[in-house]
Amino acid sequence: MTVASLLTPDKQWNHALIQSLFPSDISQAITAIPLHPISTHDTYFWSLTPHGSYTVNSGYHLAHTKLHQNEPSSSDSKSSNDWWKKLWALPLPPKLKHFLWRVCYDILPTSRNLFNRKTLHSPHCSRCHYHDETLEHALFRCPASQKLWNCRNSWIHEGISPSPDQVLRDTSTYMEQYTTCNKKSPSFSPASNDHRQHNNNCPSSSTFHHRLLVDAAQDL
């Protein structure tokens, strides 16, 4: 259901329809919202940021607030310490908890962070080449990351998972593209600002071997 479906043809709230669909308190809350005179399409809007787009930082603060909303007021440092204690007590592999800790403090070695520390010449993402590799881009917005999320969603919601053979074929295709690009790139200068260049000092394709690493997690 969209907001537009709750409007009359002359762009006013359809009170009768709203009251038939929602409890009275929610109906009153909906119809109390002033309508904009200009008709626009419905869009998703994250209310916790001024620009309406989700950020990891705002999501973390929302989760933190929800976690402690029923607790008696305390100093920020105490509630923060309690939050970390709960995180460290979770039955998760240490490397995963350490990863979450680095995510919360935005200290993963993303291109943006390495660029800020003057370790890289460019903050661009080395996978898609179109955006700065911020924490949010690396985990959620990069097409390569979204492919992983799609695989995860297919497995969770549809029971579909790529077979090891499929993973091997995809990896082989990727490796062939990588080596082809390296052959086309005659040289690589560390001082270059062109992030799209690849290191020509990598081993030749004949020395590559496939090594399929498998990791797994389980909800407890």
Binding residues for Zn ion, rule: CB under 5 A, are 125, 127-128, 142
Length of the chain measured in residues: 220
Closest listed residue to residue 58, CA positions, set 104, 96, 108, 116: 104
Alpha-carbon distance 37 to 146, whole Å? Answer: 37
Shortest distance, CB of residue 122 to Zn ion, whole angstroms? 12
Please say which residue, 64 or 127, places its beta carbon nearer to Zn ion: 127
Please say which residue, 6 or 128, places its beta carbon nearer to Zn ion: 128
- Residue for token digits 């091997």? 168
Shortest distance, CB of residue 116 to Zn ion, whole angstroms? 17
Shortest distance, CB of residue 143 to Zn ion, whole angstroms? 6
DSSP state of 205: G
CA angle centred on 145, ends 84 and 66, rounded to 5°: 30
| Token pair listed for 204 | 């030749």
State CA 189 to chain mean position distance.
Answer: 32
Please say which residue, 15 or 152, places its beta carbon nearer to Zn ion: 152
Shortest distance, CB of residue 1 to Zn ion, whole angstroms? 34
Please say which residue, 110 or 182, places its beta carbon nearer to Zn ion: 110
